[in-house]
Amino acid sequence: MSLGTSRTTDRRGVETLLTNARFELMPFESFDEEITHLPADATIAITTSPQLGIDTTVEKTEEAVALGFDVVPHVAARYVEDREHLEEIARRLTEAGVTDIFVPGGDREEPAGEFESAHDLLAALSETPYSFEEVGITGYPEGHDFLDEATLAEAMEKKAPYATYIVTQLCYDPDAVIEWIEAVRERGVDLPVEVGIPGVMKYQRLMKISQKVGVGDSIKFLRKTTGVLGFVRQLVGSRGTYEPDSLIDGLAPYVDDEEYGIRGVHIYTFNQTPDTEEWRLGRLDQ
C-alpha cells in the first residue's frame, strides 16, 4: 500500500468521520452533565478510571443505556479481579442491553487479579456464557511507552481473533495513523479502525494529557508542522484552544478506501463535550 491509493472527496470523508463519531467520557462527577450536550442517539464510550474502578464504569453504563444512549464500556483487563468478577460484569452489561465493549489492558501498574493483559481477559470471556456483537481492541500508531513494536504486533495478532475493530491511541498526525494502518494491514490484520482523536480543549491541558498518555511525538508534530513561531501564533490566534480540523482533513481522503478500513473517529473528549460537539456540528454544516 501507499499514501497515494484511491481517495474520496474531502467533504464526503469528513461527513463520514464526524457523523459516525464516538464520544469517550470518563465516569467522573461531571459525567451526567457532559452527556446532556451530546446527541440523543450518540455512541458513548465510558472509560475505566484508576480512581473509581471498573464497577463505576458498569454503573455509569447502565445509567446511560437507560437514558437511550448507545454505550460502549471499557472493560479494562487489569481492573477485573477474577473470572467470577468478569462474569458478573458481562452479565450486568448484557442485561443492560450492551452489545459492544472495548477491551484495553488498562493503565493500572499492578493488576487487580489474574488478568495481566487484554488477551487474557478476552480468552476468559470467550469461555463464559456471555458474548458481545462488537469487541474493540487498542492500536498504537506512535508506539507504547513500555512495549516495543514487536511486542505490540504480537499482542494484536493474539487479540485479533476475539475482536471486531480497533481503536487507536490519541494521535495528532494523520500521516502517522495512515502509515500505521498500512503496517497493520501488511501483517494481515484487517479489522476496521476507529481513529482516536482529541476533542476541542485548551492547548495547555491537552499538552499535559498528551504527555501523560505517551504521545510526545504528536506534540512534536504540532510544533514541526507550524514551526515555533507558527505554533505560538496558533496558540494565540485560537485563544489557546485546539481543534482537530487538520487531523480530520488529513484522514478524510482515505475513508472510502476499503484497504484502510477507517470507519469513524473515537473522540477523546476528556469530559469537554460542549465545545467538541459545537465544533463537530460546525464542521458538518460547512
pLDDT at 139: 95
pLDDT band for position 210 (cuts 50, 70, 90): low
Strand extents, DSSP E, 150-206: 165-168, 193-198, 201-202
CA distance 46 to 275: 19
Where is pLDDT greater, at 254 or 6? 254
pLDDT at 10: 85
For 10-202+242-278, CATH number out of 3.10.20.30, 3.30.70.420, 3.20.20.70, 3.20.20.220 equals: 3.20.20.220
Smallest CA-to-CA distance from 258 within 193, 162, 196 is with 193
Judged against a pLDDT cut of 60, whether residue 197 lies above it is answered with yes
pLDDT at 107: 79
Judged against a pLDDT cut of 50, whether residue 217 lies above it is answered with no
Chain segment 218-252, per-residue pLDDT in tens? 444 444 444 444 444 554 454 578 889 989 999 99
pLDDT at 239: 58
Kind of pairing between the strands at 201-202 and 241-242: antiparallel
The CA-to-CA distance between both ends of the chain, in Å, stands at 32
Chain segment 52-95, per-residue pLDDT in tens? 999 999 999 999 999 999 999 999 999 999 999 999 999 999 99
CB 174 within 8 A of CB 255: no
Where is pLDDT greater, at 279 or 201? 279
Judged against a pLDDT cut of 70, whether residue 192 lies above it is answered with yes
Instruction: Return the C-alpha cell found at 214.
Output: 505517551
pLDDT at 1: 43
Mean pLDDT of 95-110: 93
Smallest CA-to-CA distance from 207 within 251, 248, 170, 246 is with 170
Chain segment 7-61, per-residue pLDDT in tens? 444 899 999 999 989 999 999 999 999 999 999 999 999 999 888 999 999 999 9
Domain boundary assignment for the chain: 10-202+242-278
pLDDT at 232: 45
- Choose the weakest-confidence range: 85-94, 154-163, 205-214: 205-214
pLDDT band for position 207 (cuts 50, 70, 90): low
pTM: 0.87
